[in-house]
Structure 1
Amino acid sequence: MTDSQSVHDGAAPAGAWAAPGRVNLIGEHTDYNDGFVLPVALPQAARATVRLRTDGLLRLHSAQTDGGPVELSVADLAPGSVEGWAKYPAAVVWTLRAAGHEVGGADVHIDSDVPTGAGLSSSAAIECVVAAAYSDLHGLGLDGPALARLAQRAENEFVGVPCGIMDQMASVCCTEGNALFLDTRGLAQRQVPLDLAGAGLRLLVVDTRVKHDLADGAYAELRAGCERAAALLGLPALRDLAPAGLDAALDRLPVELRPLVRHVVTENARVEQAVALLDAGDLAALGPILTAGHASLRDDYRVSCPETDLAVEAAVAAGALGARMTGGGFGGSVIALVAADTLDTVAAAVTTAFAGAGYATPRTFTAVPAAGAHRIG
């Protein structure tokens, strides 16, 4: 360990863990409506080397930031008390204690290759890796869903983002070679085989390298709008509105809420359609569902932006079977389902389109379904 990872008590338990970022094939923004989602874990992950301390200090260091470690008193942790990247691991420690677990300080060194601000759940990866490490080191025995709920609570109550639970469940529960079919209401889950290579396909990720400032506030407004619509319809959540009753329900709602409801209901249906196709081994037919999902995110939910729209349009025009935004919106990343032999062509077309529009050069890479949180040392 470097000085930034110094050990307070050489006899304290130590180890290293990893928790991945994610892309979502379909189901964006349905997770906080008790809906269905279909995420895939990425090989890119947050990795944490952790050693417990006995002096009540939480000493945090990131390989991705300049300067020395951030040193915090565990007893003084409270929502709003920590700024910057350190609030994510600090949030987990606070949440564990708030949940009644008698945990203390630690030296935590984090090294992550999940792109930040790209809609690939870099913050959830940090939260989940710290939660997994603490559970293991303290012998808490928390399973995947329990870790995910804890990390979600950390994000909601400490960080202050009213997110659903998809990102956290993907980070801890995905398995290699599969997508995770998740019912966010009760956290029922099923691993769905996603053998892209076997089908001659690739999943191209386009990091647009943009994130618009309105994203955080708009996310909360969208969630509040969905909850208001469900209350007006007398439903526990929009998940409980069947597609057959959509038109009649829309007539009962204020005009400004109708597009939100239409997106959530149709997106839930798209998730079920996508799972049926994967179960049948028809991976190529997933493409049009991705593109339809993006149109709904763009036109009804209105969380897209010119950069993500251009990435989708350029990818499809260059031969992608389908493409859509992934992540919270207002920037971030796009995924495109492409035939293996057109991967380079589609990636180049998106890059050329961005150059023509005067946008920053996007980062592109392929996503391979990876494993969720696990110990690596």
Structure 2
Amino acid sequence: MRAVEAFRETFGAEPQGVWRAPGRVNLIGEHTDYNDGLVLPFAVPWGVTAAVSPREDGVVRLRSLQAGGTPTFESLEDAEGWARYVAGVLWALREAGHPVRGVDLVVDGDVPRGAGLASSAALEVAVGTALNELYGLGLSKMEVALAARRAENGFVGVPCGILDQAASALAEEGKALFMDCRSLGTRNIPFDLAGHGLRLLIVDTGVRHDLTDERYARRRQDCENAAKRLGVASLRDVTDLAGALGRLSGDERRRTQHVVTENHRVEALIGLLRAGAVREIGALLNASHLSLRDQFEVSCPELDVAVEASVRGGARGARMTGGGFGGSAIALVPDERVQSVRESVTGAYAERGWAAPEIYPASPSAGARRLA
């Protein structure tokens, strides 16, 4: 295992354990999590592996096989770049009163950064899961996810919801994770693609995004402003959409329309899955993308072309996934149309002089776990 070999090479000892946490694809329910709404992600086969040993002092020594370098620090505020996600987890656990000291850690990741597949959440959850066990904290999987979100919100500075971290921590193989982001209630729902002659393709546009920039925060602020104007705790509480839209204008009106209708789409998609109508969910994916493009305004030309070309090539539905402004799209494709969809998307990119996107299938995979 590469992480273990690198740990030996870097620190001259064996790690006390190895943990892995996956990235995620959000099937539907985008930008609803921080509005107390409904989401339906699943874990992907790619993620972050962490070889870890605790330290008795407060020193943190890190190595990433992807980022390079071996940052060492005692003050968490001295962490920079990717190391801030690790430091943030330590900070969140200490802030909650847990006796977490220093750590030696090597991480090895194969989930593409910036592709909308939650690479940062995978890193946070892998580290949190390791520290939970090594220090005997007794946290549940959801509590680890909440600590990871606290790290990203309070330390890294990304105002994300709980979707990414919860999917990484709680997902199960062959299932999608339905979560109510207000109650934090979860249920894993069978999502059998192969049994219905389908594949879910990820189209990585190659356009990298940074959710620490102001565009993501501005969307969240729009939602909070709209909820305040409507006199509700969050947009989850809007029950009369037509009436609400009549009281709003501009960005607040558009954001509200997306969030409320996206929650409805999550419920509708779950109903289709329970009925075994997996092939019929495509129309909901299409509607979600149009709403994200036109109402929430987080798409980009590369995502729009990927979605349009996928459907033109024979996908039953497609949409952008993740925070937006780049990253990846997903397409629900019958087995016999996979090659047609690939050719349609790569051809559409070539026509515009864009580099060919990476296209690969993803199946619902297991959440965070100990490997050794």
Q: Is the shorter-chain TM-score for this pair beyond 0.5, marking a shared fold?
A: yes
Quick check: 2:53–2:104 contact (8 Å CA) kept in 1?
yes
Question: Aligned match of 1:346 in 327, 341, 344?
Answer: 341
Identify if the C-alpha distance between structure 1 residues 61 and 4 changes in structure 2 by more than 3 Å, giving closer, same or farther.
farther
Q: Which runs of 5+ in 1 are unaligned?
A: none
Quick check: 2:313–2:343 contact (8 Å CA) kept in 1?
no
Amino acid at match of 1:14: Q
SS of corresponding position for 1:25: strand
Question: Aligned match of 2:88 in 57, 80, 91?
Answer: 91
Q: Hey, what's the Cα distance between the residues in 1 that align with 2:191 and 2:154?
A: 34
Task: State the TM-score, normalized to the length of structure 2.
Answer: 0.96
Q: Hey, what's the Cα distance between the residues in 2 that align with 1:365 and 1:119?
A: 14
- Map 1:1-377 onto structure 2 (within 5 A): 1-2=5-6, 5-6=10-11, 14-66=16-68, 68-73=69-74, 76-78=75-77, 81-212=78-209, 216-242=213-239, 245-377=240-372
Identify if the C-alpha distance between structure 1 residues 363 and 278 changes in structure 2 by more than 3 Å, giving closer, same or farther.
same
Amino acid at match of 1:200: G
Q: Hey, what's the Cα distance between the residues in 2 that align with 1:286 and 1:278?
A: 8
Q: CA deviation at 1:355?
A: 1.2
Q: Hey, what's the Cα distance between the residues in 2 that align with 1:249 and 1:41?
A: 35
Amino acid at match of 2:11: S
Stretches (4+) displaced over 3 A: 1-5, 212-215
* RMSD (Å) for aligned C-alpha atoms: 1.4
Q: CA deviation at 1:352?
A: 1.4
Q: Hey, what's the Cα distance between the residues in 1 that align with 2:344 and 2:93?
A: 47
Amino acid at match of 1:32: Y
Identify if the C-alpha distance between structure 1 residues 49 and 104 changes in structure 2 by more than 3 Å, giving closer, same or farther.
same
Quick check: 1:305–1:331 contact (8 Å CA) kept in 2?
yes
Quick check: 2:157–2:212 contact (8 Å CA) kept in 1?
no
Amino acid at match of 2:350: A
Q: Hey, what's the Cα distance between the residues in 2 that align with 1:221 and 1:289?
A: 26
Q: Hey, what's the Cα distance between the residues in 1 that align with 2:153 and 2:272?
A: 34
Amino acid at match of 1:70: P
Q: Hey, what's the Cα distance between the residues in 2 that align with 1:28 and 1:256?
A: 17
Q: CA deviation at 1:255?
A: 2.8
Amino acid at match of 1:175: E
1:62-112 CA distance string (max 9 Å, x none): 01023x311011xx213xx42211111111011111111111111110001
1:216-239 CA distance string (max 9 Å, x none): 211100001101100111101000
Quick check: 1:152–1:164 contact (8 Å CA) kept in 2?
yes
Q: Hey, what's the Cα distance between the residues in 2 that align with 1:200 and 1:124?
A: 31
Q: Hey, what's the Cα distance between the residues in 2 that align with 1:293 and 1:232?
A: 25
Identity of aligned residues (%): 54
Amino acid at match of 2:76: L
How many residue pairs were aligned?
Answer: 367
Quick check: 1:19–1:172 contact (8 Å CA) kept in 2?
yes
Q: CA deviation at 1:7?
A: 5.2
Q: Which runs of 5+ in 2 are unaligned?
A: none
Amino acid at match of 1:125: A
Which range is displaced more, 52-61 or 191-200? 52-61
SS of corresponding position for 2:354: coil
Q: Hey, what's the Cα distance between the residues in 2 that align with 1:214 and 1:107?
A: 28
Identify if the C-alpha distance between structure 1 residues 257 and 149 changes in structure 2 by more than 3 Å, giving closer, same or farther.
same
Amino acid at match of 1:351: T
Quick check: 2:48–2:108 contact (8 Å CA) kept in 1?
yes
Q: CA deviation at 1:349?
A: 1.4
Amino acid at match of 1:62: S
Q: CA deviation at 1:256?
A: 2.8
Amino acid at match of 1:342: R
